[in-house]
Amino acid sequence: MRPKSLREAGSDDNKADEATTTVAAETTAAPATTAKAKAHWTYEGEEGPENWDKLDPAYVTCADGSAQTPIDIVTPAEADLANPVIAYTAGSAAVTNNGHTVQLSAAEGSKITVDGAEATTEIDWAAMLPSNLETYRYAGSLTTPPCTEGVTGLLLENPVELSAAQIKAFEAAYSGNARPVQPLNDREVKADNSADK
């Protein structure tokens, strides 16, 4: 069975059954830019993804980048990869409604280790991770402006399931909050074939 792209995972046909959680970790090789959002952006219309690069010069990577996210995973290369190690620090998490989605930020000191590289965690709103952490991995970007590249994209092979009520509540607050699928270009997508490593 072919995995769903991040866009497909949020499509109307799939929402009632499951949603996919993504975990993104900025690697040490990531650019040191932390550009503040200057221009208002949305997911549709004149301020939508097809125009993000025109809203602010800091958003040019949204159109000109070569490793943008989300992608459609069609034929990943099998690889013997170590599963991510996620270490949460005890403490309260910050829940932020940023106007586009709900962000859950783990307590200070929390980190994720992927292929030996440690990074602080940025966890999608549905941070209920399954016990099997096999992933698809690829070079990616932030999915919102400024679309910074240098991010390692991790897509769990086993989706996190949400109830229809949970999905309906999220949709009531955030309708249409997904960036369109981006070109793969010359990137390789690896599929973890090493259960419980």
Whether 119 is covered by a domain: the verdict is no
Q: What mean pLDDT comes out for the span 16-27? A: 36
Identity at 112, one-letter amino acid code: I
Could you tell me the residue range of the domain that residue 140 belongs to? Answer: 6-16+23-32+56-83+128-192
Whether 150 is covered by a domain: the verdict is yes
Q: Residue 167 — φ and ψ, nearest 5°?
A: -65, -40
Whether 46 is covered by a domain: the verdict is no
Answer whether residue 4 shows pLDDT above 60.
no
Q: What is the pLDDT of residue 113?
A: 73
Whether 65 is covered by a domain: the verdict is yes
Q: What is the pLDDT of residue 90?
A: 65
pLDDT tens column, 117-126: 776 655 543 3
Whether 132 is covered by a domain: the verdict is yes
- State the chain's mean pLDDT as an integer: 76
pTM of the model: 0.69
pLDDT tens column, 83-113: 887 776 666 677 788 888 877 676 677 777 7
Whether 179 is covered by a domain: the verdict is yes
pLDDT tens column, 53-89: 999 999 999 999 999 999 999 999 999 988 887 776 6
Looking at the structure of the chain, the number of domains it has is 1
Whether 144 is covered by a domain: the verdict is yes
Whether 91 is covered by a domain: the verdict is no
